[in-house]
Structure 1
């Protein structure tokens, strides 16, 4: 069963005060760490600027959608994100869950 993580994030003041070279060095470190995780089944489905022109859009600036073979792999990415200091530089929201079909989802809504 596939698992997914959606991240919504916006650079904060701490990020904006870093120099260009500090940002570049930090993101190069992130890229190196991510290369190691791809061997575990982590897949970036998209990393993009958010389209804020849609109805009910989030105020965040960026979106990332990840796919994983299991919850443990998702947890490993989340631990890596936290350990990297990412949350110090970005106002961030996570949402995660497993694959379910439409009818299973509707059933869950009915039974709340």
Structure 2
């Protein structure tokens, strides 16, 4: 069953203190880690800046949406992000789980 991860994140002071070369070195490590995740079927769907004008926008600055073929791949993605040192530089909120369609989700809500 397909699983998804929605991340919301904001740079920490540690990120803001890095110079351009250190940021590029960090990004190189992220890129290297993506090869293994791609082999597991992990796909980035969309990444970008949060539009603060959207009704009920979060306080975080950026978002990332990921698709994973199964729970194991989702676990590998979350673990890989943590192992990269991401959380040293970005305050992150993760929401992940199995995806369903609109009717399936309404059924989930109806049982709460």
Normalised to the residue count of structure 2, the TM-score between the two structures is 0.95
Match of 2:2 in 1: 2
**CA shift for structure 1 position 80:** 0.7
What is the alpha-carbon distance in structure 2 between the residues aligned to residue 48 and residue 89 of structure 1? Answer: 17
**CA shift for structure 1 position 41:** 0.1
Q: SS of the counterpart of 1:94?
A: strand
Cα RMSD (Å): 0.9
User: Does the alignment pair 1:42 with 2:42?
Assistant: yes
Match of 1:25 in 2: 25
The alignment of Structure 1 onto Structure 2 pairs a total of residues equal to 112
What is the alpha-carbon distance in structure 1 between the residues aligned to residue 37 and residue 102 of structure 2? Answer: 30
What is the alpha-carbon distance in structure 1 between the residues aligned to residue 105 and residue 36 of structure 2? Answer: 33
Q: Which runs of 4+ in 1 moved over 3 A?
A: none
Q: Which runs of 5+ in 1 are unaligned?
A: none
Q: Which runs of 5+ in 2 are unaligned?
A: none
**CA shift for structure 1 position 35:** 2.0
What is the alpha-carbon distance in structure 1 between the residues aligned to residue 107 and residue 37 of structure 2? Answer: 34
Normalised to the residue count of structure 1, the TM-score between the two structures is 0.95
Superposition pairs of residues 45-84 of structure 1, within 5 angstroms? 45-84=45-84
Between 97-106 and 7-16, report the one with greater CA deviation: 97-106
**CA shift for structure 1 position 109:** 1.3
**CA shift for structure 1 position 61:** 0.8
